[in-house]
Amino acid sequence: MATTDRLTRSVAAEPLVSPVTLLRIAIILAVLAIWEFLAHSGLLYRDVVPSLFAIGRALYDLLSHGDYYFNLGVTAAEIGTALLIGGLSGVAVGILLGANRFLSKAFESYLYYLGPTPKIIFFPIMIMWFGVGPGSKIALGTLSCFFPVALSVAAGMRQIDKVLIRVGKSFRASTWQMIQKSTCRRCAILSSTASGSGLASR
Amino acid sequence: MSPALVGVGALLVALLIVELLIQLNFISRFIVPPPSEIVGSFGRVIVEEHVFSRFLLTLGECLTAGVMLTVFGIAGGVLMHRFRLLQQACETWVAAMAAAPLVLAYPLFMVIFGRNAWTIIMMGFFAALPPVILKTIEGMANTRKVLVNVGRSFNLTPTQQFWKIMFPAALPTIFVGVRLGLIFALINIVGVEFLINYGGLGQLINDLAERYDLAGTYAAICFVILVSVLFFMTLEKAERWLRPID
């Protein structure tokens, strides 16, 4: 009886649309209304803030054009390549630094301080090295992806439970087996690669 | 041999190898200038390109964006923590905004604010706002229950509870957000300076690259790296001073 009573009450209390969804819709509508007001007010140049209908039409034109999908593919390929190169090299360097305390002390501070440097400053160099084609963009994406991946993997390696390492050693696992079999390491690598992918796309 | 010495030594050896490869024409000096030439151009870039005044300009933009993002970011975070519905509705949007490449919106900012420092400051501000808001929410939410209960037992008003309990307890976490925000702001400010060819250090690199002054470009890049490293170290020291227990 008690269970039925609780179920009845919970179903009755649940609104059709949750307050969170309602608030989200209200915020979106308010932003769109402000935008439309700005577009028609003349406070800003008409072409700078075009009306929502003009934007919608332009978006439709863009999405119905084949070129857009080709360019989307090119960008996706550039991001994928940058993630592959930057991610793999970052993982390799991270494992090296995380596994070796001496190397970590010698070189990790360079990565740590170079990480937050604005990568766009390397763009002129990348253009000179790789040309104006996709190469320079891939190189810049690789650079952006490399640092967070390397640092996260190195930090993840150091957080591995010592017991797991001792278990691996007691089974006489090789270095490659230790890297391959340790779940913690893979977790650290996956999470850092995810953050690196976001940076590679910038 | 100490690891730090090995690190510096390896860097010097790498530079020496590059120098040799360029001198022996294995690498074209029209693509990579010899490191000795880059070191030699430091003085010229500092004096002729007015690096110090450019540095002050970039720093000024960073600090203005920093003050704005501290005020609006903390206020936004507190507001979102106070009104749970607002937090539930908007927190994921703020997090998504942190991952979005806002720098692509620079043409819109440029036509709204003009080709001046305000475009750069506003771009830095908007790009750096999410971490401050998110960390403020985190800091406020993680205030220890016992501290809140102590405030209640003293019958503190909501305002007193905020200023005497919640805000001081959340301050270390909020500063982590401000630190991240300032780094985001620096990255975006230098980036937009570079893109719109206006302002301080970012513009210097663009300017030198367009003049094909390769040694100067590399020297300017080294200078920007040095500035960002110093900026980062200063923020780190300030954070450590603020949370001495960690």
A6 within some domain = no
> Do A187 and A98 fall within a single domain?
yes
Please report residues of A whose CB lies closer than 8 A to that of B195: 120
DSSP A120: G
pLDDT in tens, B180-238: 898 889 888 988 998 888 878 888 888 888 888 888 889 988 888 888 888 888 888 88
Note the pLDDT of residue A190: 57
pLDDT in tens, B25-49: 888 888 888 999 999 888 888 888 8
The pLDDT > 70 percentage for chain A reads 82
Measured distance between the N- and C-terminal CA atoms of chain B, rounded to whole angstroms: 30
Note the pLDDT of residue A11: 56
Structure-token pair, residue A48: 């700078």
> Do B112 and B213 fall within a single domain?
yes
> Do B67 and B141 fall within a single domain?
yes
> Do B5 and B16 fall within a single domain?
yes
Residue A4's Cβ-count burial label (10 Å; 0-12, 13-18, 19+) is: exposed
DSSP code string of B17-30: HHHHHHHTTSS-TT
Structure-token pair, residue A136: 């320079």
| Chain-chain contact of B99 with A198 (C-beta, under 8 angstroms) | yes
Kind and range of the H or E run holding B97:
helix B84-99
Q: What is the C-alpha to C-alpha distance for residues B236 and B239, in angstroms, rounded to an integer?
A: 5
> Do A108 and A196 fall within a single domain?
yes
Candidates B88, B99, B111; nearest CB to A20: B88
Q: Which of A76, A110, A155, A202 is nearest to B184 (CA)?
A: A202
A1 within some domain = no
Q: Which of A121, A125, A127 to mutate to test the interface with B (most CBs of B within 10 A)?
A: A121
The pLDDT > 90 percentage for chain B reads 34
Note the pLDDT of residue A15: 75
Note the pLDDT of residue B124: 92
B190–chain A Cβ distance below 8 A for any pair: yes
Domain count, chain B: 2
Q: What is the C-alpha to C-alpha distance for residues B130 and B188, in angstroms, rounded to an integer?
A: 14
C-alpha triplet A130, A131, A135: angle, nearest 5° = 55
Range of the domain at A35: 12-63
> Do B23 and B92 fall within a single domain?
no
| Chain-chain contact of A202 with B101 (C-beta, under 8 angstroms) | yes
A16 within some domain = yes
> Do B82 and B20 fall within a single domain?
no
Q: How confident is the model at residue B104 (pLDDT cuts 50, 70, 90)?
A: confident
Q: How crowded is the C-beta side of A95, counted as CA atoms within 13 Å?
A: 16
A87 vs A79, A98, A139, A177, B56, CA distance in Å?
A: 11, 16, 12, 20, 36
C-alpha triplet B117, B120, B126: angle, nearest 5° = 135
Phi-psi region of A176 (alpha: psi -120 to 50; beta: other; left: phi over 0): alpha
> Do B20 and B38 fall within a single domain?
no
pLDDT top residue among A93 and A114: A93
Structure-token pair, residue B212: 């094909």
Mean pLDDT value across residues A40-67: 85
> Do A113 and A195 fall within a single domain?
yes
Inform me whether the pLDDT recorded for A164 exceeds 90. no
B105–chain A Cβ distance below 8 A for any pair: no
Residue type for position A63:
L
| Chain-chain contact of A123 with B4 (C-beta, under 8 angstroms) | no
Counted residue by residue, chain A has a size of: 202
B206–chain A Cβ distance below 8 A for any pair: yes
Q: What is the C-alpha to C-alpha distance for residues B186 and B59, in angstroms, rounded to an integer?
A: 8
> Do B9 and B48 fall within a single domain?
no
Residue B102 belongs to a domain with what CATH number? 1.10.3720.10
Q: What is the C-alpha to C-alpha distance for residues B22 and B25, in angstroms, rounded to an integer?
A: 5
Its pTM stands at 0.78
Say what the ipTM of the complex is: 0.77
DSSP A121: G
Domain count, chain A: 2
Task: Determine the angle formed by the axes of helices B106-113 and B167-196, rounding to 10 degrees.
Answer: 90
Calculate how close chain B gets to A199, using CA atoms only, in Å: 8
Note the pLDDT of residue A186: 56
Note the pLDDT of residue A198: 58
| B208 Cβ neighbours under 8 A, 6+ residues apart | B45, B49, B216, B217, B220
Mean pLDDT value across residues A150-175: 82
> Do A187 and A89 fall within a single domain?
yes
Kind and range of the H or E run holding A93:
helix A66-99
> Do B150 and B62 fall within a single domain?
yes
> Do B133 and B148 fall within a single domain?
yes
> Do B11 and B45 fall within a single domain?
no
pLDDT in tens, B47-65: 888 888 888 898 899 999 9
Q: Which of A147, A159, A79, A82 is nearest to A119 (CA)?
A: A147
DSSP code string of B214-226: HHHHHHHHHHHHH
A47 within some domain = yes
Radius of gyration of chain A (CA): 26
Range of the domain at B200: 34-242
CB A36: neighbour CB atoms within 10 A?
Answer: 14
